[in-house]
């Protein structure tokens, strides 16, 4: 055997698919695979050839498991194989959420300072692809989705191996030539409408929305600290939206107490007119306070009303009212219920209050001014590009059927809400899931709590329309 062959070790906890990947690479079934944890107990080796006669030795190790003395010994052999290898592959089960034991083992392997890929196996169809993004928190230099059993998503994985393993006929490893192209992130994009930053804009329009009788009028009165809006136990007392303004911390906050939004089939006469007024007002609002009744939880109509926040791209605060009479429901249960039902408002903070007793109502004004500050913020282009470059280095932009997709530049071209443009060589091929990954990464670096973040992909020279968003 050629001792100069690169050694590739496959590691992972039991039953994540290591032997199946070994078989796929070796194109033969000599490693026993089964659903029973810990089937592979020693290190199996096989010389493998992939594209352009690239030869390497693949090592299939036993599952890393410290639950018994025997398995602990297997784990010891597995980690020893990783130390001897040139390239390490760590596999996890993509059908499960990331586990702390996997993180610790992966970080232990990172300390070896060797090429290391995180392979998220069992991503068997497009619907399960979202689960793959959960594993980016590991911070791996190379992360690949995979379905070994269905032979899916192998192309990028093979390309990664090809970069690390030289072809047989090359006596020396090939060196990549330095690119003559200037730093693509340093390019200046001249056609983006760079609107001036409104640093002195401190007039905030706030919409109070929610189902009938969730306490909208009571909340307005509590915030204004006086009875300016008629409060009644009869659903629908407030008909016309009522604008009321207060000064707070150098800001002018204007509340619009909306008419109770009713089920479509029950809107008649003046109430139908009031709903039209409400939507017209929402179009001009900056921030929405979404009222949820703690005694009933999220209902179908709550979801439809919450959809108006998405439609008009407002900042958002979820206000859980009647917290003092909620019954036995814990805070954790209430939050879990709301987050599960209103997934599209994942960025909105929550606050529990009692508009009737005034409990925690005073904190809402601070939340409004903080959210508005984030709603109108503009990220400096250099910082934004540093962040996007960092995100891409952690996970490269996926190719599209072999076509290379490159993000050349990023800039924020609008505020209220923040809108970011990506200049891409093939914008139509930038997958929505990668857009979501970038959005989450940008959120992790900059404070956008309570604020929607829109990202558009365009070729250089294309205009950016108001409704171009992901």
CB contact at 8 A, 46 and 61: no
Per-residue pLDDT of the chain (470 residues; tens, 9 = 90+): 455 789 999 998 888 888 888 888 877 444 333 333 333 345 678 888 887 678 888 888 766 765 545 445 556 777 888 898 999 999 999 988 888 888 888 888 998 999 999 999 998 887 777 788 888 888 888 889 998 888 888 888 988 998 899 887 544 332 323 333 444 433 433 334 344 444 457 889 998 888 878 888 888 888 887 544 445 455 554 445 556 788 888 899 988 654 443 344 444 444 454 455 557 667 778 999 999 999 999 988 888 888 888 889 999 999 999 999 988 888 998 999 999 999 999 999 999 999 999 999 999 999 999 999 999 999 998 899 999 999 999 889 988 888 888 998 888 888 999 999 999 988 889 988 899 999 999 999 999 999 999 999 988 755 554 444 43
pLDDT of residue 459: 81
Do residues 464 and 470 touch, judged by C-beta distance below 8 A? no
Are 194 and 243 in contact, with CB atoms under 8 Å apart?
A: no
pLDDT at site 167: 83
The set of residues, in sequence order, having a beta carbon less than 8 Å from that of 25 and lying 6+ positions away, is 46, 48, 50, 58
Write out the two tokens for 232.
């009644």
Cα separation, 468 vs 470, whole angstroms: 7
First-last CA distance in the chain: 53
* pLDDT value, residue 178: 34
CA–CA separation, 69 and 206 (whole Å):
62
Kindly report the length of the chain.
Answer: 470
C-alpha to C-alpha distances, 397 to 56, 90, 157, 386, nearest whole angstrom: 27, 21, 13, 16
pLDDT for residue 226: 53
Burial tier of 221 (Cβ tally within 10 Å: 0-12, 13-18, 19+) = buried
Residue 39, pLDDT score = 36
CB neighbours of residue 231 within 10 Å: 15
Given a contact cutoff of 8 angstroms between Cβ atoms, the answer to whether 52 and 40 are in contact is no
Question: What is the pLDDT, as a whole number, of residue 273?
Answer: 46
Tell me the C-alpha to C-alpha distance, in Å, between residue 324 and each of 163, 276, 463. Answer: 61, 33, 51
d(CA 160, CA 163): 5
What was the pLDDT predicted at 182?
A: 40
46-52: long-range contacts (C-beta < 8 A, 24 or more apart)? 46/22, 47/1, 47/5, 48/8, 50/25, 50/158, 50/161, 50/162, 50/165, 51/158, 51/162, 52/162, 52/167
**211 vs 95: CA distance, rounded Å:** 37
pLDDT at 280: 66
C-alpha angle 28-30-36 in degrees, rounded to nearest 5:
120
Residues with Cβ within 8 Å of residue 428, at least 6 apart in sequence? 457
pTM for this prediction:
0.56
Task: Walk across the sheet containing 87-93 and list its strands.
Answer: 44-50, 54-60, 6-12, 87-93, 116-121, 142-145
């Amino acid at each position: 055997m050629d001792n100069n062959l690169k050694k590739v070790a496959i590691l992972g906890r039991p039953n994540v698919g290591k032997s199946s990947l070994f078989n796929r690479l070796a194109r033969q079934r000599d490693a026993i695979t089964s659903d029973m944890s810990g089937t592979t107990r020693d290190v199996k080796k096989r010389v493998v050839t992939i594209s352009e006669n690239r030869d390497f030795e693949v090592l299939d190790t036993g599952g890393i498991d410290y639950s018994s003395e025997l398995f602990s010994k297997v784990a010891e052999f597995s980690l020893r194989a990783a130390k001897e290898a040139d390239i390490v592959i760590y596999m996890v089960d993509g059908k499960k959420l990331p586990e702390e034991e996997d993180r610790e083992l992966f970080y232990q392997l990172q300390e070896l300072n060797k090429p290391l890929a995180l392979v998220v196996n069992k991503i068997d169809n497009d619907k399960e692809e979202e689960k793959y993004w959960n594993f980016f928190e590991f911070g791996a230099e190379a992360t690949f989705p995979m379905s070994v059993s269905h032979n899916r998503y192998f192309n990028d994985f093979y390309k990664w191996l090809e970069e690390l393993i030289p072809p047989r006929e090359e006596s020396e490893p090939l060196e990549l030539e330095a690119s003559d192209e200037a730093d693509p992130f340093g390019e200046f994009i001249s056609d983006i409408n760079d609107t001036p930053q409104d640093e002195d804009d401190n007039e905030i329009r706030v919409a109070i929305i929610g189902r009938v009788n969730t306490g909208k009028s009571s909340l307005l009165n509590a915030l204004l600290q006086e009875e300016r809006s008629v409060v009644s136990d009869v659903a629908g007392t407030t008909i016309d939206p009522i604008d009321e303004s207060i000064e707070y911390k150098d800001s002018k906050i204007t509340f619009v107490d909306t008419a109770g939004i009713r089920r479509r089939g029950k809107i008649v006469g003046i109430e139908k007119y009031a709903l039209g007024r409400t939507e017209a007002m929402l179009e001009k609002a900056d921030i929405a306070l979404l009222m949820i009744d703690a005694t009933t939880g999220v209902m179908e109509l709550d979801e439809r009303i919450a959809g108006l926040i998405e439609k008009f791209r407002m900042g958002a605060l979820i206000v859980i009212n009647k917290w003092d009479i909620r019954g036995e429901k814990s805070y954790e249960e209430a939050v879990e219920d709301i987050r599960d039902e209103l997934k599209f408002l994942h960025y909105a903070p929550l606050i529990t209050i009692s508009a009737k007793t005034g409990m925690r109502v005073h904190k809402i004004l601070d939340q409004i001014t903080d959210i508005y500050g984030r709603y109108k913020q503009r990220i400096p282009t250099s910082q934004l590009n540093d962040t996007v470059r960092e995100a891409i280095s952690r996970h490269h932009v996926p190719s599209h059927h072999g076509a290379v997709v490159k993000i050349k530049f990023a800039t924020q071209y609008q505020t209220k809400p923040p809108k970011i443009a990506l200049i891409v060589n093939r914008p139509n091929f930038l997958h929505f899931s990668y857009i979501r990954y970038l959005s989450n990464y940008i959120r992790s670096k900059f404070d956008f709590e309570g604020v929607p973040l829109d990202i558009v992909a365009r070729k250089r020279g294309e205009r950016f329309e108001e409704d171009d968003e992901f």
